[in-house]
């Protein structure tokens, strides 16, 4: 019996041990969902659609990932609002060349050391905080005088140094190119190297690097030896029975198409050379023989008719409505080279019968209406769009004060009525009495 109790106690202890062990393992394997760890997928753009389709990338803070990578900056997840960020701890903020990005405002950049013969002053170490460098008397800050704490947790650019007189200033300017130094940096230390890159739509030819070197105790830039030539789209194809005007076939250039006599151009008459070396639009316009163009016979609108003598190119159709109906839309349309009538077919809107009102009278307020007289037993008609006003007899008032009564394709916006007028103010109570309403 004693051995049985001992075995039972040992089993309970082993069960408790393994249960606590499994619990510890489970807790170790499952990440804390509340932690906002910086996973790799937050460092990349997943190409997803924004949650709010009305939002679009900001024009004030555009995203240029190619330029950001060229500057050595890592871009976080793009966004248009806070809802696009996976973590509630992140906000959609402007991150320089990376544009609007999901940023953790509490992320800190590293502590910075003061340069030799100089000091660095920080406004903080959170996103968008700044570090300002200064040097002792007789020395100059060579490099960035100010650095910014970026969303990726790194300070922008490289730490500057304090030098006396030998350093390079602004790097050479190359047309249609940019370099990987930050625009606010105006001084560079000896042996500093910068890389150049042609803008989109231009091709790099030559050596794209420049280096700061000192010769005879004077610093200057050597390089780059490049030129940025616009990308060529090649000579565009001509359309049958037509030609193009323009001899420039490189990025940004345009050509205009024309047709021979007796032909009409169908499609866009201009094409533009794009940055990828292709013409836009891709499809050529067409030159159509004018005499071969026939539009389909135009239809009569409801309560109206179409008047025309021909359906050939450039013919005109006009529209009329039945008596009392009002034409809504363009009264004429023209047959185009695409074998379609221009615009859309107009509509004929029905007139309205002027209603009679008990304890009041109706006044037609539109003086431009046709001269319609009311004969015995014949109702008075007004055209679409006309307005009525209502006058009620004494002690009566309109149901809808100051609301225009408008004819809309045979029906009134509301039926005018005069109802017994309501007292506007409560009667004055008698002395030592009250008013019961």
**CATH classification of the domain holding 135:** 2.10.70.10
Q: Which pLDDT does position 56 carry in this prediction?
A: 60
Range 52-74 average pLDDT: 75
Residue 37 predicted with pLDDT over 70: no
Question: Are residues 190 and 260 both part of a single domain?
Answer: no
In a domain, 8, yes or no: no
Q: Which pLDDT does position 378 carry in this prediction?
A: 64
The Cα–Cα gap between 76 and 394 comes to 74
**36 — pLDDT class (breaks 50, 70, 90):** very low
Question: Are residues 281 and 202 both part of a single domain?
Answer: no
In a domain, 236, yes or no: no
pTM of the predicted structure, to 2 decimals: 0.45
In a domain, 185, yes or no: yes
Task: List, for residues 107-120, the tens digit of each pLDDT value.
Answer: 899 999 999 889 99
Residue 321 predicted with pLDDT over 60: yes
Task: List, for residues 338-354, the tens digit of each pLDDT value.
Answer: 888 999 999 999 998 88
Q: Which pLDDT does position 333 carry in this prediction?
A: 93
Q: What are phi and psi of 115, to 5 degrees?
A: -70, 160
Residue of 128, 37, 45 lying closest to 87 (CA atoms):
37
Number of domain units in the chain:
5
Tokens of 61: 């803070």
Question: Are residues 159 and 225 both part of a single domain?
Answer: yes
Considering only residues 425 and 302, tell me which one the structure prediction assigns the higher pLDDT: 302
Q: Please identify, among 50, 77, 103, the residue that sits at the C-terminal boundary of a domain.
A: 103
Tokens of 26: 């489970």
Task: List, for residues 140-163, the tens digit of each pLDDT value.
Answer: 888 888 999 998 889 988 899 998
Q: Which pLDDT does position 65 carry in this prediction?
A: 86
In a domain, 331, yes or no: yes
Range 414-425 average pLDDT: 85
Structural domain containing residue 191: 118-230
Question: Are residues 185 and 269 both part of a single domain?
Answer: no
Q: Is the peptide bond before 281 cis (omega within 30 degrees of 0)?
A: yes
Task: List, for residues 89-101, the tens digit of each pLDDT value.
Answer: 888 999 888 889 9
In a domain, 312, yes or no: yes
In a domain, 26, yes or no: no
In a domain, 33, yes or no: no
């Amino acid at each position: 019996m004693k051995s049985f109790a001992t075995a039972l106690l040992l089993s309970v202890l082993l069960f408790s041990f393994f249960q606590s062990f499994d619990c510890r393992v489970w807790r170790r394997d499952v990440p804390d969902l509340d932690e906002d760890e910086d996973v790799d997928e937050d460092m990349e753009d997943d190409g997803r659609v924004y949650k709010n389709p009305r939002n679009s990338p900001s024009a004030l803070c555009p995203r240029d990932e190619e330029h950001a990578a060229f500057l050595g900056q890592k871009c976080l997840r793009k966004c248009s609002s806070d809802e696009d960020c996976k973590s509630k701890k992140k906000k959609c903020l402007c991150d320089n060349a990376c544009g609007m990005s999901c940023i953790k405002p509490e992320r800190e950049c590293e502590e910075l050391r003061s340069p030799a013969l100089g000091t660095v002053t920080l406004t903080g170490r959170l996103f968008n905080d700044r570090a300002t460098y200064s040097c002792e008397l007789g020395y100059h800050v060579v490099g960035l005088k100010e650095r910014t704490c970026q969303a990726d947790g790194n300070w922008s650019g490289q730490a500057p140094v304090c030098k006396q007189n030998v350093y390079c200033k602004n790097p050479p300017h190359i047309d249609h190119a940019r370099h990987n130094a930050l625009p606010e940096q105006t001084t560079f230390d000896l042996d500093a190297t910068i890389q150049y890159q042609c803008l989109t739509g231009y091709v790099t030819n030559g050596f794209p690097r420049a280096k700061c070197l000192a010769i005879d105790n004077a610093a200057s830039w050597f390089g780059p030896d490049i030129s940025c030539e616009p990308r060529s789209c090649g000579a565009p194809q001509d359309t049958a029975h037509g030609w193009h005007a323009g001899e420039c076939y490189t990025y940004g250039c345009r050509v205009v198409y024309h047709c021979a006599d007796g032909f009409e151009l169908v499609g866009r008459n201009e094409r533009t050379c794009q940055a990828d070396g292709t013409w836009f639009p891709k499809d050529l316009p067409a030159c159509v023989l004018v005499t071969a163009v026939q539009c389909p016979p135009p239809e009569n609108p409801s309560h109206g008719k179409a008047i025309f003598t021909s359906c050939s190119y450039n013919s005109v159709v006009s529209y009329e409505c039945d008596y009392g109906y009002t034409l809504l839309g363009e009264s004429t349309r023209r047959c185009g080279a695409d074998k379609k009538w221009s615009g859309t077919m107009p509509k004929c809107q029905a007139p309205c019968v002027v209603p009679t009102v008990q304890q009041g009278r109706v006044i037609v307020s539109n003086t431009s209406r046709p001269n319609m007289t009311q004969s015995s037993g014949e109702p008075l008609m007004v055209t679409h769009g006309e307005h009525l006003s209502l006058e009620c007899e004494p002690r009566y008032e309109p149901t809808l004060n100051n609301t225009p009564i408008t004819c809309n394709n045979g029906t009134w916006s509301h039926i005018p009525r005069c109802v017994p007028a309501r007292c506007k103010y409560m009667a004055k109570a008698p002395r030592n009495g009250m008013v019961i309403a």
